[in-house]
Structures are given as C-alpha cells and as structure tokens.
Amino acid sequence: MRTARDGGKPECDGIVWPEWPVYGDEERRAAAEVVDSGKWWYGDRVARFETEFAAFQDAAFAVSCTNGTAALRMGLAACGVGPGDEVIVPPYTFVATALAPMLLGATPVFADIDIETANLSPESASRVVTERTKAIVPVHFAGLPCDMEAFGKLAADHGISVVEDACHSWGSKWNGKGTGAIGRCGAFSFQMSKNITAGEGGILLSDDPKIAEFARSYSNCGRRDGAPWYEHYILADNLRMTEVQAALLSVQLGRLAEQTAKREANAGILDRVLADLDGVSIPPRPSAVDRRAYHIYLFRFTGEGWTIDRDEFVAALDAEGVPCSSGYPIPLTRQPLFADRRFDAGGVEATERLCREAVWLPHTLLLASAEAVERAGAAIVKLARAYR
C-alpha cells in the first residue's frame, strides 16, 4: 500500500476532525443573559465560575484574571518574587512561563526536562538552586502532571515556593489532588486553543488564604476587600475577568469532565498502537496520576530503523489526514530574548533532543470517534510499514 506522500490514498480520507471550540446554545444563552442583565463587569458570574473551577480542581480559593501569563505573574508575586530573585523554569514550554518572572524583575533560570515525560526534571532543577532562588515553576506539559512529590521536597529543603504552570492540565489529578492546587498556587489559561476557553482568560488556584488575598488585590488595582474603593495598598494591575467570559467558561466547564474522559480513552487507543512500535516512544503514566488532561497527545519519533526523519514523518502523517506538528523548534534557552540567561551547567540536552523528536497531535483529535482515532493510529502503522 502506497502512502499518501507517495501518491496513495490517505488513511484518514473522509474523516472530518472535530473543530474547536465546542459550543452550542448553552453558550449563546449564557452570553445573552449577561448582555440582557446590563451587569457586564466583575460580578456574580465571575464569582460563580471561580467557585466552580476551584471545586473542580480541588482548591480552596480561585482568583480569575485576563490570561495564563497574568495568572503566573500573579502567583509568583503572591509568593514574594521580585527584582533580584531567581525562578527555575523548564526550557520546553511556551515563552510565558519564563516571561512571568521577568515581568516582575526576577530572572528565569533554566533546568532541563525529563526526556521521557517532557516535564521539568527535579534532578536538573536541584542543580540550579542558589541563595537567590525564590520559586520553581513545574509545567504539567501536555496535561501530564509533574512529579509533585519531588518538587515539594525540593521546595521544602530550600525554602522556596512551587508555582505550578497548569496551563495544559485542566482536570489532571496527582494522588487525588487537582493540579494547580498542589504547590503554593497554580496558574491556568483559557486562551482560544485551550481545553476550556472563553477566547482568553486565566485563573490562579491556591489553598492558602494569604496567596488568594494578595492575588485578588494584585488583579484589582491593589484594592482590599472591605476597604474604601479608592484606597490602593500594593503595586498592582488591572487583570479582571469580564462577566461574559466567566459565563462562557462556566458552560465550558460543564463539558470538561466528559471531554477529559473521552480524550483519555482515545489516547489509550493511540498508546496501544504505539507502545510496541520501534522508533516511537510514548510518555509513561506514573501511578500517582489519577486523571490526565490531554492538551496535546505527545510522542517522540526517535527514528530507529526508519528511513525518514522526524520532519518527514510529520509531513507524511499530515498527508495521511492526521493533524499534527513538530511542536517547539528550539528550547527557550536559544530564543534571542533569553540568550544571556543562566541554565543548568549540565546543559539542556534532553530539551534539545525533544525539539528534534517531538510529534504533537492536538486535543481536538482526541474528541473524535474511537473509530477515527483507530484510523489515525493505523496511519502511523502504515507509515511504519512503508518507511522501516
């Protein structure tokens, strides 16, 4: 059988993959109710969504904001991060993870990832801790929770804060606790591509009332609850979420548990197909992971025994009708913005390697029927037969 790249019929010919966002009359009604109420600004809908999302992720407190970057900045500021401090971050993540501490005058310090999970390596992170380290930001990449036990111990040993970048992990749980509520606080994004969205938006979760109190003030021009409206107590910003955004997110949240379960089930189909395929590696699932969000289905094309490289594989898989990409082309350490930043003296070779080997499938693919996902897996097997 010829591959589509070589002129054959695409394996997934005729499949229409789900579009994003998923929405319907519920969102229309929720938005219309806000519009008709005339109460568009930072009111009951925002408070309701904060309560709902905190409960969904097992957190005591939630403070909404404009986007995930703002949520990270808010969390770091609540943990006392400021000029002269260092914050440990991974180099395999969206740029916002490293921008957030810089926006507070702090310095991001890069530690390498674990090549198997794509998550920040606790061992690498431990090697870059200094007396200036104030916080560490593990990213639950693609929705797979980091080793929060190891990061908790590292933080306790050095007196630093763990601020989770949970912007891929709505619904993920580690040892029965929702991500974002395991460290001192955790940030989420509701940007358009995310698994729950209002176009933009963010939220910070914490079990610490002092973190929540600071974050509320930081997001609301430095005000304090119960104080006069025109009194301002800290250097802060206006990061408030609108009522329309909150109304949309409440509806989206109502779909999230079912969607997460479907993504997990369909990811299991791909896991079974790829588990024994030479030249391909899927991340392990630690026993502590009770539920896993999939913002991305990530695997590595290591290429042993194949006659094509990763980029050719991605092009061939796309030709078969499977939406895919190669993800981040370079580590953050090679971005011009971070050229002078310090990183683990052992290097970031695992991140460099993942940039060469990663294949990303979007979370929307995992919302398709099981039959469609089986055909996506069959497309990969087809390529293996043709190019091995």
One domain for residues 353 and 279: yes
CA distance 365 to 16: 10
Residues for the chain: how many in total?
A: 388
Question: What mean pLDDT do residues 33-62 have?
Answer: 97
One domain for residues 53 and 200: yes
Q: Is the pLDDT of residue 345 over 90?
A: no
Total domain count for the chain? Answer: 2
Question: What mean pLDDT do residues 62-66 have?
Answer: 98
- The predicted pLDDT at position 340 comes to 75
CA distance 114 to 63: 31
Question: What mean pLDDT do residues 152-173 have?
Answer: 98
For the chain, how big is the Rg over CA atoms in Å?
21
- The predicted pLDDT at position 97 comes to 98
Question: What mean pLDDT do residues 300-309 have?
Answer: 97
CATH of the domain at 10: 3.90.1150.10
Which of 48, 240, 356, 388 is catalytic? The answer is 240
CATH of the domain at 109: 3.40.640.10
What band does 346 get if pLDDT is binned at 50, 70 and 90? Answer: confident
pLDDT digits (tens, 9 = 90+) for 218-268: 999 999 999 999 999 999 999 999 999 999 999 999 999 999 999 999 999
One domain for residues 148 and 29: yes
Q: Is the pLDDT of residue 1 over 80?
A: no
CA distance 312 to 208: 48
Instruction: State yes or no: is 299 an active-site residue.
Output: no
Name the domain boundary from 211, 232, 251. Answer: 251
One domain for residues 101 and 115: yes
Q: Model's pTM, two decimal places?
A: 0.97
Name the domain boundary from 251, 284, 300. Answer: 251
Which of 191, 262, 342, 353 is catalytic? The answer is 191
One domain for residues 237 and 262: no
**Chain mean pLDDT for the chain:** 97
Q: Can you give the residue range of the structural domain that contains 212?
A: 25-251
Which of 85, 112, 114, 165 is catalytic? The answer is 165
Question: What mean pLDDT do residues 138-162 have?
Answer: 98
Instruction: State yes or no: is 44 an active-site residue.
Output: no
CA distance 326 to 315: 10
CA dihedral of 19, 24, 26, 30, whole degrees rounded to 10: 80
Contacts of 47 (CB under 8 A, 6+ apart): none
CA distance 187 to 377: 33
pLDDT digits (tens, 9 = 90+) for 178-220: 999 999 999 999 999 999 999 999 999 999 999 999 999 999 9
**Which segments of the chain are extended strands (E)?**
61-65, 86-89, 107-110, 133-136, 161-165, 173-174, 177-178, 185-189, 202-206, 280-281, 289-291, 296-301, 358-362
Which of 168, 177, 184, 300 is catalytic? The answer is 168
- The predicted pLDDT at position 341 comes to 72
Which of 45, 140, 194, 382 is catalytic? The answer is 194
One domain for residues 104 and 36: yes
One domain for residues 235 and 287: no
Instruction: State yes or no: is 57 an active-site residue.
Output: no
- The predicted pLDDT at position 276 comes to 87
- The predicted pLDDT at position 140 comes to 98
Sign, CA dihedral 46-50-233-80, equals negative
Name the domain boundary from 194, 217, 251. Answer: 251
Question: What mean pLDDT do residues 381-386 have?
Answer: 97
Which of 25, 36, 225, 230 is catalytic? The answer is 230
CA distance 156 to 238: 32
Which of 73, 177, 216, 223 is catalytic? The answer is 223
Which of 94, 141, 299, 301 is catalytic? The answer is 94
Strand partners, 161: 135
Task: Give, to the nearest 10 degrees, the angle between helix 68-78 and helix 209-219.
Answer: 130
One domain for residues 91 and 120: yes
Instruction: State yes or no: is 230 an active-site residue.
Output: yes
One domain for residues 53 and 179: yes
- The predicted pLDDT at position 165 comes to 98
One domain for residues 245 and 140: yes
Q: How far is CA 302 from CA 118, 132, 354, in A?
A: 14, 38, 9
What band does 358 get if pLDDT is binned at 50, 70 and 90? Answer: very high
Instruction: State yes or no: is 94 an active-site residue.
Output: yes
Instruction: State yes or no: is 194 an active-site residue.
Output: yes
- The predicted pLDDT at position 269 comes to 98
Query: Looking up tokens 């929702």, which residue turns up?
Result: 178
CA distance 106 to 76: 10
Is-contact 186 166, C-beta < 8 A?
Answer: yes
Instruction: State yes or no: is 191 an active-site residue.
Output: yes
Q: Is the pLDDT of residue 339 over 90?
A: no
Query: Looking up tokens 């990763």, which residue turns up?
Result: 310
- The predicted pLDDT at position 255 comes to 98
Instruction: State yes or no: is 252 an active-site residue.
Output: no
Q: Is the pLDDT of residue 279 over 80?
A: yes
